[in-house]
Chains A and B, each alone.
Chain A
Amino acid sequence: MKPDKFKIPPTVMARQVGDELVILELSRGIYFGLDPVGARIWQLLAEHRSFEEICNAMVAEYDVRADVLAQDVSKLLATLSDKGLIEPADDGPKE
């Protein structure tokens, strides 16, 4: 089961640098950088968009196949989640 929605914990802060993003996890002092595409996904996460909403928005904005995009978004969310930079929102899991 994958969560459909994620939230950004209060211990995480992010700053835009140019068109990229640098994220700091305060409780462990972990830093993480995102390229412009990752930064856009982060922005959508911060707007409480669901996985599907994020994918739809990205497909509309970038020249990419929907299935490839979904895989890439899924991978990034898994990485961010593993690092404790995002966590499942309380809206309930999705199969």
Chain B
Amino acid sequence: MKLKLSEPTAQGRLDAPPYHAWTHADGAPFAEFHRYAQQYLIRFPDVADFEISCAEDEILCRPVPGSTNATLHHLFLNQVLPLALNRQGKLVLHASAVQVGDAAVAFAGVSGRGKSTLAASFATNGTGFLTDDALILEPASDTGYWIAPSHPSIRLWEDSHVNVLPEQVPAAPASDIGPKSRFLAGDAIAFCERSCRLKKVYFLGDGTAPTVSITPASHSESLLAWIRNAFLLDVAEPTTLAENFDRLWRLARDVDCYNLDYPRRFDALAAVRHAVGAHALQ
């Protein structure tokens, strides 16, 4: 799916209120969702409008004057593209993934649970990552799922990149949204460029476990966790909701899922890598 940038222009007033919105902690809108006959429009107030066509394999971005390319590409890669792929019927989930043996495992969780930090920890120790935030799954022709590699970059909070990445890794140009910095894969951050079979999934806990803990997640736990962690463009359209629910139900049924928790200390990451690596290969 391609991104097409138009000339910068001020955001005009839209005829109808959004059918859905994401808000900041203070209640201010971060993204507003509008549905039209042939397209969706996602408005990031004072930054850009993104138009997702239902018919074409292209997303049009109308930036507000002054928005930087880094910001626009950040929004495209991390928010708009996952939603557009979901609209095409793909499963897109808030999860990172790393290669383990000849397959891959995913780490799912809401923002702040450590998905990217854990993926970066694997990637800086020679294990390629496939995605740091938006897990794109394709059903396999037999059973199970394939993970398609996403953009070869990882976004990290400052404490994570200071503690996990080698010093010489430069940050990509910063976006104006959010405090995370983006780091491109390369010699210091291993990336897996090929699709891998999804072997196991780990839902990241809240960090209260005193040591590394891996326990099976029940099917219903897994389904509800996937529901919380799914990218869904049209949350107000019953047919889409029902289709997405069925896709997530099959995912929860067909893939082994576990709860993973560990102390959120950087010096604990080696033990997490070791435990996950051994568990994933069982």
Contact = CB atoms under 8 A, between A and B. Distances in A.
Interface stretch (A14-22, A53-61, A70-78): A14-22
B268 interface: no
A17 B222 CA distance: 9
Name B's interface SS.
helix
A15 B249 contact: yes
Interface in B238-253: 238, 241-242, 245-246, 249, 252-253
A27 B227 contact: no
A26 B242 contact: yes
Interface string B203-237: 00000000000000011101110010000000110
B238 A17 contact: no
A66 B282 CA distance: 46
Nearest to B245: A24
A20 B241 contact: no
Contact of B242 (A13, A17, A31): A13
Contacts of B222: 17
A11 B245 CA distance: 13
A17 B227 CA distance: 14
Contacts of B220: 17-18, 20-22, 33
B235 A22 contact: no
B226 to A, nearest CB: 10
A1 B218 CA distance: 38
Nearest to B250: A15
Given A15-B249, A17-B253, A29-B235, A24 B224 contact: no
B218 A26 contact: no
A19 B161 CA distance: 43
A18 B238 contact: no
Contacts of A22: 220, 223-224, 227, 249
Interface string A25-63: 011010101000000000000000000000000000000
Given A20-B220, A22-B223, A11 B246 contact: no
21 contacts: A13-B242, A13-B245, A15-B223, A15-B246, A15-B249, A17-B222, A17-B223, A17-B249, A17-B252, A18-B220, A20-B218, A20-B219, A21-B220, A22-B220, A22-B224, A22-B227, A24-B245, A26-B238, A26-B241, A31-B227, A33-B220
Interface of A: 11, 13, 15, 17-18, 20-22, 24, 26-27, 29, 31, 33
